[in-house]
């Protein structure tokens, strides 16, 4: 009798924060993994941790998500190594704030490349594998994009970042309308400010103690992987306690 084939997942932006925590939780549940980010050292450390703690296969692929060649190489290396894909976590992202009136267009272009275009290209290349999971497994093929509440409701100084996250939310909805009958479902997870390295610069106006814990965002993402292919969740919004819920 052949050994049971473990589910396979990709987590982008996996070197720290939300991505690293999602990768850990997927490994606990028995997923083989491809993890990617720009830097190699942190990925190698995480890969060693997951292999030793959970006995899963972990492929490390350094990737600059603003480079189409890098994004396509990530898809190719995962497909070549695992030959299947059950969960695609699109966590890699670029964050930046600034008033719209003088926000540099070149910076917006870079943010769009990283936050939206890379997800579009990577998922197109991996869609055949996701469709196979969608038609052959109970849980189907899952696409989980880490978006933001700033893509749901406008937030001062977030015209560029919020626009990219709104695009990601709309893109997830459209993928589900086109692919969910075949078992491929996309969900945008939309948290407010999360206590990560990316938000440390906001400490003058908002303490990280008042931000969302990384563990809660990772748990929300992981919960989606446990659902059957019969359930479509377009988006999940996670916000901070307080009198006004629609805020980052």
pLDDT, tens only, 20-39: 999 999 999 999 999 999 99
**Average pLDDT value for the chain:** 93
Residue entry with tokens 């019969």: 230
The answer to whether residue 181 is domain-embedded is: yes
Give 213's DSSP letter: P
pLDDT mean over 4-29: 95
The answer to whether residue 247 is domain-embedded is: no
The CATH number for 114's domain is 3.40.50.720
What is the spatial distance between Cα 229 and Cα 177, in angstroms, rounded to a whole number?
13
What are the tokens at 236?
């999940």
The answer to whether residue 169 is domain-embedded is: yes
Cα-to-chain-centroid distance, residue 151: 15
Q: Around Cβ 165, how many Cβ atoms within 10 Å? A: 27
The answer to whether residue 170 is domain-embedded is: yes
DSSP characters over 14-64: -SSHHHHHHHHHHHHTT-EEEEEES-HHHHHHHHHHHHHHH---EEEEE--
CA torsion through residues 228, 231, 235, 240, sign: negative
The whole-number pLDDT of residue 247 equals 81
Q: How many domains does the chain have?
A: 1
The answer to whether residue 3 is domain-embedded is: no
Angle at 234 between CA 20 and CA 112, to 5 degrees: 60
What are the residue numbers of the active site?
161
**How much of the chain exceeds pLDDT 70, in percent?**
92
The whole-number pLDDT of residue 2 equals 41
Candidates 128, 15, 33, 26; CA nearest to 81 is: 33
The answer to whether residue 62 is domain-embedded is: yes
The answer to whether residue 145 is domain-embedded is: yes
Model's pTM, two decimal places?
A: 0.94
105 is in which domain, residue-wise? Answer: 8-238
The answer to whether residue 1 is domain-embedded is: no
The whole-number pLDDT of residue 240 equals 87
- pLDDT higher than threshold 60 for residue 3: no
Q: How do residues 175-206 score in pLDDT, each as one tens digit?
A: 999 999 999 999 999 998 886 666 666 666 76
Confidence of residue 1 (pLDDT cuts 50, 70, 90): very low
Taking the alpha carbons at both ends of the chain, their separation in whole angstroms is 51
pLDDT mean over 52-67: 97
* Burial of 170 (C-beta count, 10 Å sphere; 0-12/13-18/19+): middle
The whole-number pLDDT of residue 201 equals 64
- pLDDT higher than threshold 50 for residue 134: yes
DSSP H or E segment with residue 142: strand 141-146
Residue entry with tokens 């916000």: 239
| Residue 85 near residue 133 (C-beta atoms within 8 A) | yes
What are the tokens at 151?
């893509």
Q: Angle formed by the axes of helices 159-179 and 118-136, to 10°?
A: 30
pLDDT mean over 164-168: 98
DSSP characters over 121-144: HHHHHHHHHHHHHHHHSSS-EEEE
Of 81-85, 199-203, 213-217, least confident by mean pLDDT is 199-203
């Amino acid at each position: 009798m052949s050994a049971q084939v473990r589910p396979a997942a990709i987590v982008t932006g996996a070197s720290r924060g939300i991505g690293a925590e999602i990768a850990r939780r997927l490994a606990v549940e028995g997923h083989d993994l491809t993890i990617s980010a720009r830097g190699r050292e942190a990925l190698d450390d995480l890969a060693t941790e997951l292999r030793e703690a959970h006995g899963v296969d972990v492929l490390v692929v350094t990737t600059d998500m603003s480079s189409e060649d890098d994004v396509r190489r990530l898809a190719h290396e995962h497909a070549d190594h695992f030959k299947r894909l059950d969960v695609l976590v699109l966590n890699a992202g670029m964050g930046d704030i600034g008033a719209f009136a003088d926000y540099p267009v070149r910076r917006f272009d870079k943010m769009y490349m990283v936050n939206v275009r890379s997800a579009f290209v990577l998922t197109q290349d991996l869609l055949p594998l996701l469709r196979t999971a969608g038609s052959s497994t109970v849980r189907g093929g899952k696409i989980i994009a880490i978006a933001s509440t700033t893509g749901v409701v406008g937030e001062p100084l977030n015209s560029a970042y919020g626009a990219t996250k709104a695009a990601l939310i709309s893109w997830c909805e459209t993928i589900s309308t086109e692919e969910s009958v075949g078992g491929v479902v996309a969900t945008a997870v939309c948290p407010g400010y999360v206590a990560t390295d990316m938000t440390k610069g906001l400490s003058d106006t908002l303490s990280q103690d008042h931000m969302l814990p990384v563990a809660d965002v990772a748990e929300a993402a992981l919960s989606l992987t446990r659902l059957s292919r019969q359930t479509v969740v377009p988006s999940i919004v996670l916000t901070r306690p307080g009198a006004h819920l629609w805020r980052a």
